[in-house]
């Protein structure tokens, strides 16, 4: 959401729920701050200046929204939210900034006497003039009978790239080689040819000398015969001449023929070929075909179902039915017992402590009252020395964090508060034994020295331009953050390999992706890969087949209708942070992803109205995990006595000593266990 106060935009803390992919989250006022500063009169009319925005991508210009009451007087303290298409335009600090060309609609919203007052603003973004085009070809030599893909990348005079460029492709000699509208060049006979790409009067050319194809055979090196759905197979093949010599620059293309186990339920898209790898989504027989010119080779694989389903059983409850529940964090206390810290959303600043030593008998031991409307995030240091409550909506609008002394874990006491550079509200945190990373108002993260929890000290901070940070995790000295409008941001905060320290963080790389809410970095021992799991969290389902419910009128109040959500989990291979690559996803259309934890090749996913979901993420990952039947267990916490009755909305899920702990927005803390997999009965 973007917040404007009459003639100016105010950047403050991010809300728990953000807008969908069609909305750019740029400036947000915390709920508590809004409640603490009611306007004198309800808004009757909104006026934008300019009324219609025409702007060039890469530029910014002044933009204001003025709120008027029924008598036509300006309301100076009205809170106006302005939302625009994500990664296209952003509204903040009295300006509009454009990133992507197109025709869009932004919407300004304010509270009126009888409901929201809205104003649609037409936005037209144009590209700067195209300056040059570069033609990039796939690897391999263009022999006769071979096709090679090409793409054209455009750039403007200032060096910025032109996304979505669609050039006109031409061949100088179509009898030698043809080129289709996608840039695929097919060699027909030996000779020379020039391929060109043209757009907006700018032309780029690439010359080829085509030789006769020397490939006589293809030798396959695929050892697998029987695999599981979702298992990745490396596509290894060598093209050879008639004498058996390898043709190292030969182009080999791959395809497959699919024979389903059951033709009556045969799905579309049964398998995936990409990056020299293959994975089956569904059971059946796959015939892999390798081709170079008119030479082919084949390998038949049998894909069997991934049998991972287990029963999940609830073992205990920490009921919270008087307010909405947010985050959780379990730890082992200095007394040897296990505890869980739980936050509340719109709960007047109450954090709760539960003894979870006996998962069959969860007992609340204490509650902690702080100056906040919402404690969205809670965390505990790995050594169990201190805990932290994140503050949003403080009465004086000075938010920050509250640090707890956990020497007596059943009854924590407040050690200190810290708000330097954190006045915008803290939505998420990450704790190490010596440092706390706290997100400030969705703008940046602040690094705090907590060696002495009674005297915390500011260390440094990192702010990425034109982005809204929502979540971060730190692993091996690298801070991975999910930032709306940008994607996954990787920063050296002590790893050292990329030149950063805890005192002077240094950007490593950014992986652009249309997801900026949750992130979890996971090192997979079996493959040596580091995967980033990025969650969308989309609370508006407008435009989908099932648009969902209008949760906003009842959100954070007792009763009402069940909330709905959208978005999914993106999986990015970030083993080499300098060259990350998206490889898969966990996608369920009717629900939305929230917090993510992975441990021992199992994904524990809070999937909002989709419940808590436990998913097998073993082995190399590729494709949609849901299609591959990797789901181990699903539980949806229905409760007729909940804050909103029978409305599952799982906020967070974590593994803990062989069980699963999770918090539900409407019903509090739950614990469950995965039952052992039933043994097959043999005759």
- pLDDT (tens digit per residue) in 354-378: 999 999 999 999 999 999 999 999 9
Percent of the chain clearing pLDDT 70 (strictly above)? 91
Cβ–Cβ < 8 Å for 391, 440:
no
Q: How many residues does the chain have?
A: 683
Looking at residue 424, what is its pLDDT? 82
Greater model confidence, 38 or 70:
70
Greater model confidence, 545 or 433:
433
Contacts of 221 (CB under 8 A, 6+ apart): 236, 237, 238
Greater model confidence, 204 or 270:
204
Torsion sign over Cα 315, 318, 324, 328: negative
Looking at residue 516, what is its pLDDT? 80
Looking at residue 680, what is its pLDDT? 67
Common-topology check for domains 3-126 and 142-210: yes
* Mean of the per-residue pLDDT values of the chain: 90
CATH topology (fold) of 217-304? Immunoglobulin-like (2.60.40)
User: Residue 117 has which token pair?
Assistant: 């007052």
Q: Give the integer Cα–Cα distance in Å for 451 and 436.
A: 10
Looking at residues 451-470, what average pLDDT do you find?
95
pLDDT of 67 > 60? The answer is yes
Instruction: Give per-residue pLDDT as tens, 274-322.
Output: 889 999 999 999 999 999 999 999 999 999 999 999 999 999 999 999 9
Confidence of residue 651 (pLDDT cuts 50, 70, 90): very high
pLDDT of 36 > 70? The answer is no
Confidence of residue 81 (pLDDT cuts 50, 70, 90): confident
Instruction: Give per-residue pLDDT as tens, 417-438.
Output: 999 999 888 999 999 999 999 9
**DSSP strand E in 127-189: where?**
130-137, 147-148, 150-156, 161-162, 168-171, 177-179, 185-187
pLDDT of 509 > 50? The answer is yes
Confidence of residue 396 (pLDDT cuts 50, 70, 90): confident
Q: Would you tell me which CATH number, out of the four given (3.60.15.10, 3.40.50.620, 2.60.40.1080, 2.60.40.10), belongs to the domain 142-210?
A: 2.60.40.1080
pLDDT of 681 > 50? The answer is yes
Domain boundaries 312-674, corresponding CATH code: 2.130.10.10
pLDDT of 33 > 50? The answer is no
Percent of the chain clearing pLDDT 90 (strictly above)? 77
Looking at residues 592-602, what average pLDDT do you find?
96
**DSSP strand E in 391-434: where?**
401-405, 413-418, 426-431
Confidence of residue 683 (pLDDT cuts 50, 70, 90): low
Confidence of residue 267 (pLDDT cuts 50, 70, 90): low
Looking at residues 77-104, what average pLDDT do you find?
86
DSSP string across 294-350: TEEEEEEEEEEP------EEEEEEEE--SSEEEEEEEEE-TTS-EEEEEEEESSTTE
Looking at residue 548, what is its pLDDT? 85
Q: Which of 280, 274, 234 has the alpha carbon at shortest distance from 261? A: 280
Domain residue extents for the chain: 3-126, 142-210, 217-304, 312-674
Instruction: Give per-residue pLDDT as tens, 170-216.
Output: 999 999 999 999 999 999 999 999 999 999 999 999 999 999 999 99
For the whole model, what pTM was predicted?
Answer: 0.85
Looking at residues 523-543, what average pLDDT do you find?
92
The CATH number of domain 3-126 is 2.60.40.1080: yes
């Amino acid at each position: 959401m973007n917040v404007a106060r009459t003639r100016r935009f105010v950047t403050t803390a991010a809300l728990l729920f953000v807008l969908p992919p069609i909305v750019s989250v740029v400036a947000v006022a915390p709920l508590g701050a809004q409640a603490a500063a009611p306007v004198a009169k309800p808004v009757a009319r909104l006026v934008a200046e300019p009324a219609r925005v025409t702007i060039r991508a890469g530029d910014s210009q002044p933009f204001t929204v003025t709120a008027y009451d029924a008598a036509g007087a300006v309301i100076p303290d009205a809170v106006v939210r302005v939302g625009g298409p994500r990664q296209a335009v952003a509204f903040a600090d009295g300006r509009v900034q454009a990133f992507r060309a197109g025709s869009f609609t932004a919407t300004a919203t304010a509270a009126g006497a009888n409901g929201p007052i809205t104003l649609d603003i037409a936005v037209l973004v144009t590209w700067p003039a195209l300056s040059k085009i570069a033609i990039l070809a796939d690897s391999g030599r263009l022999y006769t009978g071979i096709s090679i893909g090409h793409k054209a990348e455009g750039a403007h005079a200032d060096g910025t790239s032109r996304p979505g460029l669609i050039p006109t492709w031409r061949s100088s000699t179509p009898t030698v080689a043809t080129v289709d509208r996608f840039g695929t060049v097919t060699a027909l006979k030996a000779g020379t040819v020039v391929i060109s790409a043209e757009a907006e009067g700018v032309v780029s050319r690439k010359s080829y000398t085509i030789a006769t194809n020397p490939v006589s055979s293809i030798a396959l090196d695929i050892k697998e015969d029987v695999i599981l759905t979702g298992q990745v197979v490396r596509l290894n093949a060598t093209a050879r001449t008639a004498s058996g010599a390898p043709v190292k620059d030969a182009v080999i293309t791959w395809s497959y023929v699919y024979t389903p186990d059951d033709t009556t339920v045969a799905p579309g898209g049964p398998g995936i070929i990409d990056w020299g790898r293959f994975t089956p989504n569904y059971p059946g027989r796959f015939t892999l075909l390798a081709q170079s010119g008119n030479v082919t080779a084949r390998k038949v694989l049998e894909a069997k179902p991934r049998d991972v389903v287990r029963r999940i059983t609830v073992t205990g409850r920490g009921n919270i039915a008087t307010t909405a529940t947010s985050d959780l964090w379990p730890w082992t206390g200095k007394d040897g017992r296990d505890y869980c810290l739980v936050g509340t959303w719109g709960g007047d600043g109450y954090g709760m402590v539960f003894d979870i030593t006996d998962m069959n008998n969860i007992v609340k031991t204490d509650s902690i009252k702080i100056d906040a409307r919402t404690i969205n995030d809670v965390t505990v240091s790995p050594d169990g020395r201190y805990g932290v409550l994140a503050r949003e909506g403080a009465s004086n609008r000075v938010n920050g964090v509250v640090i707890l002394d956990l020497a007596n874990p059943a009854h924590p006491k407040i050690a200190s508060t810290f708000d330097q550079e954190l006045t915008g509200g803290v939505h998420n945190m990450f704790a190490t034994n010596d440092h706390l990373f706290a997100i400030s108002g969705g703008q940046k993260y602040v690094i705090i020295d907590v060696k002495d929890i009674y005297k915390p000290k500011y260390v440094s901070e990192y702010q990425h331009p034109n982005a809204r940070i929502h979540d971060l995790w730190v692993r091996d000295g690298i801070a991975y953050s999910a930032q709306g409008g940008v994607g996954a941001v990787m920063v050296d905060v002590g790893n050292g390999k990329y030149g950063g320290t805890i005192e002077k963080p240094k950007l490593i790389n950014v992986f652009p992706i249309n997801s900026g809410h949750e992130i979890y970095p996971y090192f997979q021992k079996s493959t040596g890969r580091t995967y980033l799991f990025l969650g969308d969290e989309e609370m508006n389902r407008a435009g989908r087949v099932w648009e969902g419910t209008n949760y906003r009128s009842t959100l954070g109040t007792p009763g009402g209708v069940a909330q709905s959500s959208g978005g999914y989990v993106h999986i990015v291979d970030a083993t080499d942070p300098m060259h990350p690559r998206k490889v898969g996803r966990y996608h369920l259309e009717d629900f939305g992803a929230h917090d993510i934890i992975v441990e021992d090749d199992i994904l524990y996913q809070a999937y909002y109205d989709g419940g808590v979901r436990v998913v097998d993420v073993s082995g190399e990952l590729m494709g949609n995990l849901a299609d591959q039947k990797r789901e181990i267990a699903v539980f949806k916490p229905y409760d007729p006595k909940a804050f909103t009755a029978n409305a599952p909305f799982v906020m967070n899920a974590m593994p803990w000593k062989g069980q699963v702990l999770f918090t539900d927005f409407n019903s509090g803390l739950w614990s469950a266990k995965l039952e052992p997999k039933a043994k097959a009965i043999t005759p």
